[in-house]
Structure 1
């Protein structure tokens, strides 16, 4: 069963009790903590830890920040909890709750954001929950589509805003605190606090430290579950996760999915990995029969997320979980982001700004050339251009099927973590933007997946250590994610460690669009998104031709729009 919580805070005790009674009738929620002005409810699978003699709570999976990262127990000797103490002393998928001496109430979302926090203000009452449908089923204003919020999301879906696509529903950003009754949101954790420009640790020492953090974090995540199902492709990231499960002694099984076309078939690498780790491997193909093109897989979220083809992946995972008696799925998602996978010349700029015109700069220039296949002259020119640009990472949204008659939202494409401190390096700014980008895809305990999903490589201790690593160490020797490769040399076969190719489900995404084109055309051309002025019908019409789909990459944004259209219809139903 997945994690879930509901927090109701307000001065009207009768209303709180009324809402509590409503909640008890749905979603198997039960009271976990009560005060006259506060009710905290959770699902049976959700741990709750009382801190500092009722001065606060931690709701969800939380671990001590000291290796070996044991589950958080009652902290009798903890100081009065606050945001700094929580983010420095625990990590996991949790929300921290505490109340200050002045009567203020505070709610913290963990810095990685695996456990969602959605909230709304209903008069003098605050309602916050892990799932938006918990909020929806409580008495209050009906949830309506926020068309401008939806437009903003479609324009830059990988940069989540506090504003969702449902009117009145906000999402608390990872690492931020919501304070009540002021409804102010403040930063509690910043990736910039872990950036380190020093060269105190060698690459070899860093690889060893990284390995231990990944092993310990993966073991910590596996402990609460009797059986783990690991999604593996034979790529580096999922292989590192699988090796960590093996070393940690978890009870686990592996599965891999392949597309019917060869460009998305990685089973050969997955088999190499499974043989090396001596773990059973289940295999399946993405199947068109698992796709309901009129169904929104993300219907229980406050924004449309993902593609219709994801229905096939989730169906296979659920089948294998049932077959193996598994409780949870582990995925290597986030590895590219945490391990700073980039083809840019930014590492050259970082090293030049740190060391001057040293021999190390020339080594990194050569590494980037080997990694990208560019000449050293091309890399030098790109590095020179980046060196003379402003350090902050500039986010660019875009969607060619969106209409141009909406409010210009470019100024909204910002995030507190994109604000660079004085002296910051562009590589660190890039790395942090990657972290923001992957957080937009994490819905680890979302109900729409049917089962909880854990991303061990996105564990806070791993992320914090990787942020402290100079960008040029990640491309050392002309290999992407070089430090992560070096860290797992003792546990992975050479074919996996040397692998640089990547595959994915894009060809199946195209298959889904082509096979369902007759249904997709009226769905989008005569749909709610067009009717409400978000999409340009003429551009859609031109793109939704079989000849065009066969020769362009428009099937990817079109697939996203199918999910968005279905999501809107589900909420309007």
Structure 2
């Protein structure tokens, strides 16, 4: 089972031991740590790492900043003292991983979520304590919060289009954002930014391209190998695309790793030939499976375990196949290349030429980047130059998040436009370069890809390319170097060119399950239409029914990107039903408990 945890942090005074015992009984978790102000309960028999003199603990996996070994299982005395003296600085500068660090600071309790967001963390504020947990189900089982849909949170989630938010779709449940520090006191819980991408964006003229390439390679290999060494048996999802192939190269020949690829019956979604070439090159076994329509249940949410909607039916089919494969191989970790496009800055924007103009305006350099972008964007040099003139260059905001109002009710759209949801990582310095603003936005978006699998399953899902050292190394690379030579993700390609087949390094186009996703809608047409027009989103005024009716016409349902949005709305209906059903069960259990 993936690590599940619950932390109880007193809002003032001594934490009641009886409360800790009761929560342990309700959740089935083991209390490993108790202090006067907080307690840590987990699903593992192994105790979390202790910080120094007993001030706190680190839940999850922690690695030394330098070295490629498995996750740390114990601290030496010097490391423990350093952590207890300055936990935030020490953790962010000398370590990395997927963790939540919790410690007592005088009358306060603090909790730091690592910058990668590999370990989920949501929380709820109770009358006596704040509870932090790996999943909202634990908050509910612990009795800290009741199940209730936050319709405003649901509307916000649909509108922000993958932008991580503190507010969730469940009333009383909040997310601790990656890289943020939570502080618990008598007033409740507040968050502050401790790690920001902007701390790691360097002067673009300080370091040569080849040095950036080498630093990126070392960071990826360190993190990939460190994660794999932490688990007994792992499965790596591969497609023959660049990102998953890079991970495969890091663990080439490892007896603890097997590869897995999922294909569609439609040629554009079948990348088996690339996956086979990759695995042969890396001496890794490969298992191939096919998407099955009967496993794409639109009545089931792919993210029913999360405190917000965001799944799609094709993910249900994918996840079921993964779960079967993990069980068949008795694997305990599932690795993916998720986030690679974001971290390595796979962009078709012309912003990099503007960055070069502002930071290093030499004629040969500008002409080289113009040619590179013309190849990447498949446009003429003149078209690239024309687009570049529309990119903001003056001091001030240089990036606006692309919110998605499609199919939302006009009333909600107006409200959300006024509310302007945001994220602290998007708050760039006034002199930030526009291309780097776009890069940071892509990294911010990657947080949405995390935690696709339920923590109650018997394996842990990890995206090594989103590890802190990899992200920091990528952020230091000037945006125009990401398209050097006329290819996307240039630095990553250059870093791993000696370690991968040339076909994969040169590959620019990638397939996907789009045709399968469209077939899900077509094969369930009547059910899709009735479910969306007569569902909870419509009943609660979240969606614009007239606009949706037009899009649900048979000849328009898969028009453009309509199908992507429709699948999201369908999964949201299932997510709502799952939590409302959970609320009913919770109320029944509560009544039975009182009656007994």
1:168 is matched with which residue: 165, 172, 187?
172
Task: Give the match for residue 107 of structure 2.
Answer: 103
**Aligned residue pairs: how many?**
570
Q: Which of the residues 382, 394, 400 maps onto 2:400?
A: 394
> Which one of 470, 478, 482 corresponds to residue 478 of structure 2?
470
1:124-203 equivalences in 2 (<5 Å): 124-181=128-185, 182=187, 183-203=189-209
CA deviation after TM superposition for structure 1 residue 483, in Å:
0.8
2:415 equivalent among 408, 412, 415: 408
Return the alpha-carbon distance in structure 1 between the equivalents of residues 104 and 20 of structure 2. 21
Equivalent in 487, 500, 507 of residue 492 of structure 1: 500
TM superposition score normalised by structure 2: 0.92
Q: CA deviation at 1:392?
A: 2.8
Partner residue of 2:31?
Answer: 31
| 1:406-555 correspondence to structure 2 within 5 Å | 406=412, 408-410=415-417, 411-443=419-451, 446-447=454-455, 451-555=459-563
Q: Which moved more, 1:411-420 or 1:48-57?
A: 411-420
Match of 1:294 among 291, 299, 305: 299
Shift of 1:486: 0.8
Return closer, same or farther for 1:445/1:97 CA change in 2, 3 Å cut-off.
farther
Q: Which residue of 2 aligns with 1:320?
A: 325
Aligned 1:261-276 pairs, distance under 5 A: 261-276=266-281
Conserved 8 A contact 1:3-1:45: no
SS where residue 54 of structure 2 aligns?
A: coil
Q: Is 2:66 aligned against 1:66?
A: yes
Please point out which of 266, 287, 296 is paired with 1:282.
287
Distance 1:165 1:550 in 2: 27
324, 342, 346: which is aligned to 1:341? 346
Alpha carbons 2:212, 2:476 under 8 Å: kept = no
- Please give the alpha-carbon distance, in whole angstroms, between the structure 2 residues aligned to 1:250 and 1:81: 39
State the superposition RMSD in angstroms.
1.9
Following the alignment from structure 2 to structure 1, what is the Cα–Cα distance between the partners of residues 24 and 302? Answer: 24
Cα distance change on mapping 1:361 and 1:20 into 2, 3 Å? farther
State whether structure 2 residue 379 is matched by structure 1 residue 378. Answer: no
Q: Is the 8 A contact 2:251 2:257 kept in 1?
A: yes
Write the deviation string for residues 329-382 of structure 1: whole angstroms up to 9, x where unpaired: 110011100001111111111111111243111111111011111111111111
Gaps of 5+ in 2: 582-596
Say whether the 8 Å CA contact 2:70–2:229 is kept in structure 1.
no
Partner in structure 2 of residue 225 of structure 1 = 231
Q: Residues 122-145 of structure 1, C-alpha deviation per residue, up to 9 Å, x if partnerless?
A: 113111111110001122442211
The alpha carbon displacement at 1:213 in A equals: 1.4
Q: 1:50, 1:75 within 8 Å by CA — same for their partners in 2?
A: no
User: In structure 2, what is the Cα distance between the partners aligned to 1:424 and 1:292?
Assistant: 45
Per the alignment, residue 117 of structure 2 pairs with 113
SS of residue matched to 1:561:
helix
Q: 1:505 to 1:20 in 2, by over 3 A?
A: farther
Cα distance between partner residues in 2 of 1:408 and 1:244: 47
- Deviation at residue 387 of structure 1 after TM alignment: 4.6
Partner of 2:49: 49
**In the alignment, which residue of structure 1 is the partner of 2:245?**
239
Comparing 159-168 with 34-43, which one deviates more in the overlay? Answer: 34-43
Deviation at 1:89, TM superposition (A): 1.7
Alpha-carbon distance change, 125 to 282 in structure 1, aligned in 2, over 3 angstroms: same
Q: Which moved more, 1:388-397 or 1:361-370?
A: 388-397
SS across alignment from 2:289: strand
- CA shift at 1:14, angstroms? 7.7
Quote the Cα distance in structure 1 between the aligned partners of 2:52 and 2:350. 49
* DSSP 3-state at the match of 1:546: coil
Distance 1:315 1:83, change over 3 A: same
1:548 is paired with a residue whose SS is: coil
Aligned position for 2:593 = none
Partner Cα distance (2:475, 2:15) in 1: 48
Q: Structure 1 pair 531/422, CA: closer, same or farther in 2 (3 Å)?
A: closer
Whether contact under 8 Å (1:96, 1:107) holds in the other structure is yes
Question: Scaled by the length of structure 1, what TM-score is found?
Answer: 0.95
1:2 is displaced (CA, Å) by 0.2
CA distance in structure 1 between the aligned counterparts of 2:33 and 2:452, rounded to whole angstroms = 24
Specify the SS of the correspondent of 1:408. Answer: helix
**Structure 1 CA distance for aligned equivalents of residues 536 and 46 of structure 2:** 38
User: How much does 1:25 deviate?
Assistant: 4.1
**1:426–1:481 distance in 2 versus 1, CA, 3 Å:** same
**Secondary structure in 2 matching 1:549:** coil
Question: Cα distance, 1:542 vs. partner?
Answer: 2.4
Residue 375 of structure 2 contacts residue 486 of structure 2 at CA under 8 Å; is this kept in 1?
Answer: yes
